[in-house]
Amino acid sequence: MLQKLLILAAVAAVFGTSAPVDKVLADADAMPMPADRAADSYAIYSMLMPGPPFDSISTAQNARWAIADTTVSISEMNPAVPPEGQLKAPKEHANRFHEAVRDYEARKYERIQLTDEFHLSQPYKLLSSDEVTELRRARTAVDAESALKAKYAGYPGVTFFSQVFFSSGHTGALVYMNNWCANLCAQGQWIYLEKHDGTWVRRSGIYEKMRGASS
């Protein structure tokens, strides 16, 4: 397992996203999820969970999932890589990708407050910024209290999402996802998806895994 995590971290480093989310801002400045984006956004978030390396961790270590309750903006990504810095538009429907990039450019500094609208196969908890700090301490601090470790036992780490950026008509989408568990497994990547017959399908990303999500 350690060897696999090291390989994943090296891959992320090649693409310039091996560093974790740089900082977690207070939740107070986040906006509510726009109603016209909610269904597609939560469908995409749900289908991407848990993502690497959490999807290869044993059940005992992966009993519950933690998700930051506020999306990250470009200011919190370290380094702040735009989607076109990692991804290329697919040959077919390239306009969808470019429209989603334009939506990102217009909204990249926004932060969205998430709510319990995920549809996941395992129990999950939305963590506030203070709770994210606690989880990180429980995972990394040598002197972390036993009660703190017990509080976050069963969570492999915490997942951060950006808001989802859409093409016109919501047929293409871009989202940033970062899985943090400790120093070896911060996996940050941009992902591009398209909607086909009412189902979101992953088209590109560093870690290729085809999944679908209906909305």
Q: pLDDT tens digits for the chain (215 residues)?
A: 434 433 443 433 333 333 456 555 556 689 999 999 999 999 999 999 998 888 888 777 788 999 999 999 999 987 789 999 999 999 888 999 999 999 999 999 999 999 999 999 999 999 999 999 999 999 889 899 999 999 998 898 999 999 999 999 999 999 999 999 876 566 689 999 999 999 999 998 544 433 445 55
Three-state SS string across 104-125, please? HHHHCCCCEECCCCCCCCCCEE
Q: Could you state, in order of their start, the residue ranges of all structural domains in the chain?
A: 2-214
User: What is the C-alpha to C-alpha distance for residues 154 and 65, in angstroms, rounded to an integer?
Assistant: 8
Q: What pTM does this model have?
A: 0.82
- Measured at the alpha carbon of residue 202, what is the angle toward residues 6 and 204, in degrees to the nearest 5? 60
